[in-house]
A and B are shown apart, each in its own frame.
Chain A
Amino acid sequence: MNPAASLPAEPRTWRRFTPAQRAARFSVYFVIVAAIVASARTVEVIPEFLYDAPEQMQDLFRRMWPIAFYHYAGGVHEALVDTLHIASLGTILAVVMAVPIGLLAANNVTPNKVVNYFAKLLLVSSRSVNSLVWALLFVAVFGPGALAGTLAIAFRSIGFVGKLLGEALEESNAGPIEALKAAGAPWSSILAKGYWPQVEPSFWSVVLFRWDINVRESAVLGLVGAGGIGMALDTAMNLFQWDRVAMVLFSIFCVVVVAEIVVTQIRKRVI
């Protein structure tokens, strides 16, 4: 008989977390609650505007209806195509710049902590600036138009694509890499035959997802003069032509839906 079993049962306690962990968890919850309370106090809601909001909404929708479909051929179509071009060209440009940075950011591909941090710094700085701010910068440099929009999209996307590509690389299975190394494959062949096949599905997924985001973002860029459909939106809003605003919003909606369908279909096929 097992000697331990014959001993009088002393109650054995079990706790998932140590007291220090419990204190840490409590303080996280506390900070969250405190933040909500603090922000609710800081945000000053003006009651007058809040009370008649439903009326205002109704009014807005009434002005938007019927949608000015006639406006599409004359004022929306060209801007919409511009927007798609800005999004696509911006994404391609971003990928070209993000791939080398992503390779440098992945520790298993580039086993040098200093280079990794430097690459990550580049990626973070790209992401820390909003597309609209990038657009303002590039409008100041290159003047208003599609070029500024394209560069804004590209620079904002580098951080996104580079970060996710770097992470995909770091998550790739080390086994095949080891096997290719053992076979005496040169570095570039290990990249092409060991890493690339492993990250290929996530690469395409990330690029397509970013393109999808960029279609939506480039629709807004026109508000700061960076070309595309945002400019048509801006004009219509400034002239209080709400039916035309509705037309613009509706066409953006359609493009986003179509983009979503296309992206899903392609993603299914690359995995």
Chain B
Amino acid sequence: MTEGIATALSIRNLDKEYTRGKPVLRAITLAIGATGITAIIGPSGTGKSTLIRCINRLVEPTSGEIVFQGQDLVKLDRRALRLARRQIGMVFQEYNLVERLTVMENLLCGRLGYVAPLKAWLRKYPQGDIDRAFSLLDTVGLAGFANQRADSLSGGQRQRVGIARAIMQEPKLLLADEPTSSLDPKTSVEIMELIGRVCRDSGRGNAIPVIINMHDVELAKRFADRIIGMSDGRIVYDGAPAGLTDAMLKTVYGGEAWLQ
């Protein structure tokens, strides 16, 4: 293997077509290191969301390889995929909390891959999970919110719950699909800081890599260690935030009037 041990995720020649003959992703090849934030930027409809959803196969890839922890996720059967998904946390633009459940139960939803269905139904979660949920609530600044229903929270608070739920999985990789796009600028920065914090220390002293879709270029430059620019289903930029010049942004987004 040429990638060496520092590669957490390696994508090779990933293609995705929703309808035959109309590729959304074209031969994406990408290696993600063992730590750090990777931001994917690009215009709407360019396949950012599809790419991130192909990784945990919420969207089925058409062809290609996605190697994570020594196995090709694309080839896994349903059960193996479910077990692999437990290792991959995900944060969503619309938070995707179960609105009528409490904050605590939403956090414990992150453990559903590990807890037996009957025990989950009866709300008999392991004490260790509950302790961890309480300490994560402290981490994300929602101490005392455990028994509030998710639908009573503000957007920023909901996203904090979403992040805490993903971290409850003790993931080895965190995916975030436009986590700040429904939030105001101040809250967006706070959420990005929180994501940075939890990925540097996901609770057990180990750092995990994060892949984030973003449409806010400035926010991406500020928080990401590496930026991937996508255009028309292809990677057109891959490098440090500093290298993302105006000329490069023109390649990614097209046009230039917006750059002033």
Flag whether B11 is at the interface (Cβ < 8 A): no
Flag whether B222 is at the interface (Cβ < 8 A): no
What is the bound-complex CA distance between A97 and B100, given in angstroms? Answer: 26
**4 other A-B residue contacts (CB within 8 Å) besides A182-B175, A183-B109:** A176-B96, A176-B98, A193-B98, A198-B100
Flag whether A181 is at the interface (Cβ < 8 A): yes
Does A179 contact B117, Cβ atoms closer than 8 Å?
no
Instruction: Using CB atoms, name the residue of chain A closest to B168.
Output: A183
Residues in chain B near residue A188, CB distance under 8 A: 117, 121
B112, chain A: closest CB distance, angstroms: 4
What is the bound-complex CA distance between A75 and B19, given in angstroms? Answer: 70
B residues at A contact (CB < 8 Å)? 56, 58, 82-90, 92, 94-101, 105, 109-113, 115, 117, 120-121, 162, 165-166, 169, 175
Residues in chain A near residue B111, CB distance under 8 A: 183
On whether A179 and B86 interact (CB within 8 A), knowing A185-B109, A189-B115, the answer reads no
Instruction: Using CB atoms, name the residue of chain B closest to A192.
Output: B121
Interface membership of chain A positions 164-183, coded 1 if the CB is closer than 8 angstroms to chain B and 0 otherwise: 00000000010110111111
A108, chain B: closest CB distance, angstroms: 14
Residues in chain A near residue B98, CB distance under 8 A: 176, 180, 193-194, 197-198
Residues in chain B near residue A19, CB distance under 8 A: none
Number of A-B contacts (CB under 8 A): 87
| Interchain residue pairs with CB less than 8 A apart (25) | A175-B92, A175-B95, A176-B97, A176-B98, A179-B92, A180-B109, A182-B85, A182-B88, A183-B86, A183-B89, A183-B90, A183-B109, A184-B82, A184-B87, A186-B82, A188-B117, A189-B115, A192-B120, A192-B121, A193-B98, A193-B112, A194-B98, A197-B101, A200-B100, A201-B100
Residues in chain B near residue A189, CB distance under 8 A: 112, 115, 117, 120-121
What is the bound-complex CA distance between A190 and B85, given in angstroms? Answer: 14
What is the bound-complex CA distance between A184 and B175, given in angstroms? Answer: 14
Instruction: Using CB atoms, name the residue of chain A closest to B112.
Output: A185
Does A183 contact B120, Cβ atoms closer than 8 Å?
no
What is the bound-complex CA distance between A197 and B113, given in angstroms? Answer: 18
Give the A interface residue count (CB, 8 A).
22
A252, chain B: closest CB distance, angstroms: 36
Does B94 contact A180, Cβ atoms closer than 8 Å?
no
Residues in chain A near residue B105, CB distance under 8 A: 193
Does A184 contact B113, Cβ atoms closer than 8 Å?
yes
Interface residues of A in 181-230 (CB under 8 A from B): 181-186, 188-190, 192-194, 197-198, 200-201
What is the bound-complex CA distance between A176 and B84, given in angstroms? Answer: 19
What is the bound-complex CA distance between A180 and B101, given in angstroms? Answer: 13
A99, chain B: closest CB distance, angstroms: 14
Does A178 contact B58, Cβ atoms closer than 8 Å?
yes
Instruction: Using CB atoms, name the residue of chain A closest to B110.
Output: A183
What is the bound-complex CA distance between A197 and B123, given in angstroms? Answer: 13
B177, chain A: closest CB distance, angstroms: 10
Does A179 contact B90, Cβ atoms closer than 8 Å?
yes
What is the bound-complex CA distance between A200 and B110, given in angstroms? Answer: 21
A110, chain B: closest CB distance, angstroms: 15
Does A183 contact B165, Cβ atoms closer than 8 Å?
yes
Residue among B101, B109, B162 having the largest count of chain A Cβ atoms under 10 Å: B109
A234, chain B: closest CB distance, angstroms: 46
Residues in chain B near residue A194, CB distance under 8 A: 98
Does B100 contact A179, Cβ atoms closer than 8 Å?
no
Does B165 contact A193, Cβ atoms closer than 8 Å?
no
Which 4 A-B pairs give the minimum distances between C-beta atoms? Answer: A184-B113, A185-B112, A184-B86, A184-B85
Residues in chain A near residue B101, CB distance under 8 A: 193, 197
Interface membership of chain A positions 79-120, coded 1 if the CB is closer than 8 angstroms to chain B and 0 otherwise: 000000000000000000000000000000000000000000
Instruction: Using CB atoms, name the residue of chain B closest to A176.
Output: B98
Instruction: Using CB atoms, name the residue of chain B closest to A197.
Output: B100
